[in-house]
Chains A and B, each alone.
Chain A
């Protein structure tokens, strides 16, 4: 969505009589992208659906607080990411396991997940990704699966392009190493 278009949508979202129609438009435009962002973090469809719902409700409630310092999508992405991380924290607390243990628990569940149709290599790739540190995992997924440009990623993650390239390089090496040795 172009900047001008985005500004118009935001002003409609903040107005009383057009807010609902504008919000329906926003959901239509961004639901799929936000869904996949959340899905790569949580892996499971049902959990993703819950978090996506919460993300949109939070966006709806807080749109008036959006100051326009960044692009609308970056702001929504951060809400989706925070909601996902909060969900994961709650889950690890509930299961009384560490975040690392939770990652491997989630990936092990993929084998019996009806909404995971990956083959052996794709499953192994997910296992390799689950061993990465949080930041590297995020960068790797954004670049490899969603094919987001470093320039756009820098805006989303508020990180320099060179740092992101370095993160992706290290992550790729680790994934390659894991796939070779396992």
Chain B
């Protein structure tokens, strides 16, 4: 048996002293993951990993604290609302008084808003009347048609 087993006799290649004694499959696995993906973990992360059960108890304490804050805030809001109700007099709601609207205002509103729609309606009606009077001759229709429509007609 060789004393210096970290040196190969034939090739002259050598490995670090006690390399084979320290070699572990586990480290190989982690290295393998790292080299393929590029992701690494802090040193001794898996050896030191512990599930922190206290995390949940901390959460309960925080919830209790939050509950206390929420109750205190709710009480403050209720107290504030009550005090505001007592100290501030409610304003009378505004009532609509039609007698204050002048005749001119009503007339202008009718002319501007409602009659405008009526004008539009009239324009449509006139257009309809013109079409029913049969005053459009064939030449006018052909002049107003585009080339595509004429071609379509020719196909028939």
Q: How far in angstroms is the closest Cβ of chain A from B28? A: 13
A57/B39 in contact, CB under 8 A: no
A53 contacts across to B, CB distance below 8 A: 51-52, 55
A117–B46 alpha-carbon span in the complex (Å): 18
A115/B52 in contact, CB under 8 A: no
- Is B134 an interface position by the 8 A CB rule? no
Mask: chain A, 24-36; 1 = CB below 8 Å from B; 0 = not? 0001000110011
Interface size on B, residues (CB 8 A): 20
Partner of A126, one of B38, B50, B55: B38
A115–B36 alpha-carbon span in the complex (Å): 14
B49/A57 in contact, CB under 8 A: no
B40/A116 in contact, CB under 8 A: yes
Chain B residue nearest to A113 (CB atoms) is B39
Q: How far in angstroms is the closest Cβ of chain A from B25? A: 12
Q: How far in angstroms is the closest Cβ of chain A from B95? A: 46
Is chain A's interface secondary structure helix, strand, loop, or mixed overall? helix
- Is A137 an interface position by the 8 A CB rule? no
- Is A2 an interface position by the 8 A CB rule? no
Within 8 A of B (CB), among A68-120: 110, 115-119
B56/A116 in contact, CB under 8 A: no
B38/A56 in contact, CB under 8 A: no
B40/A117 in contact, CB under 8 A: yes
A115/B39 in contact, CB under 8 A: yes
- Is A178 an interface position by the 8 A CB rule? no
Mask: chain A, 123-146; 1 = CB below 8 Å from B; 0 = not? 100100000000000000000010
Chain B interfacial positions (CB closer than 8 Å to A): 29-30, 33-34, 36-42, 45-46, 49-53, 55-56
- Residue pairs across A and B with Cβ atoms less than 8 A apart, 23 shown, are A31-B49, A32-B29, A32-B30, A36-B33, A39-B39, A49-B45, A52-B49, A53-B52, A57-B53, A57-B55, A57-B56, A60-B53, A110-B38, A115-B39, A115-B41, A115-B42, A116-B38, A116-B39, A117-B39, A118-B39, A122-B38, A123-B38, A126-B38
